[in-house]
Amino acid sequence: MSRPTLEFWYEFSSPYCYLTAKRLAELANERNVDVVWKPFLLGSIFKSQGREAPVTVPAKANYMWRDLERKSQKRGYPYRKPEGFPTFALMSARIGIVASGEPWEADFVKGIFELYFEQGQDISGTSPEAIFELLHRLELNVDDILARTAADEFKDKLRENTEAALALGIFGAPMFFAKGEMFWGDESLEDAIDFLLEA
């Protein structure tokens, strides 16, 4: 019997997606739910909606960093504020597309978030060493993965995800879809799963 499916729309530069990625695979497993991982580029969404990222409001940014610190501490995550925020995590997002449906997908996504939000590493692709190391740890062939990210079908897919996000009314991340209903924010993950499992 197939399990109910939760979509997790994520952007690697989003701190609240980090909070979700740290716990999603385990929680979904506990609750007998499958996850469809959907990378997209949130910066393009802001641009299309004609607005600035919320983090450009200083009061919001200050709050967000403190909130991240508190929540990470409470959950025991070794979070630290990333260098060079926000980042345009294009290489990571493209590999996220290649990872779709692969057995290493959940570990890869969590791994990239940990590189950026715990280890202060570059995830944009400008200094790709840390990304390559992660791929090695996952026993993947870096050259093979990179060749696939360069292929048009995968590049197009990231653009398509972002266009689909816009069309679906996505305005932030993390965003969850459960039976067609949209749930915004790490704090709404449990609500989304509850909704998915309601009769």
- Point out which residues bind its own copies (CB under 8 A): 49, 51, 57, 59-60, 62-63, 66-67, 70, 169-172, 181-182, 184-185, 187-188, 191, 195
Q: Residue 13 Cβ, how far from its own copies at the closest point, in Å?
A: 19
> DSSP states of 76-141 as a string?
T----PPSSSS---HHHHHHHHHTTT-TTHHHHHHHHHHHHHTS----SSSSTHHHHHHHHHTT--
Spatial CA neighbour of 196 closest among 34, 17, 16: 34
Q: Residue 20 Cβ, how far from its own copies at the closest point, in Å?
A: 14
If the CB atoms of residues 79 and 108 are measured against its own copies, the closer one turns out to be 79
Which residues on neighbouring strands pair with residue 175, listed in sequence order?
A: 9, 184
If the CB atoms of residues 170 and 196 are measured against its own copies, the closer one turns out to be 170
Q: Residue 2 Cβ, how far from its own copies at the closest point, in Å?
A: 25
Please give the C-alpha separations between residue 109 and each of 20, 21, 77, 181, in angstroms, as whole numbers: 11, 7, 16, 23
If the CB atoms of residues 54 and 120 are measured against its own copies, the closer one turns out to be 54
If the CB atoms of residues 144 and 181 are measured against its own copies, the closer one turns out to be 181
Q: Residue 59 Cβ, how far from its own copies at the closest point, in Å?
A: 4
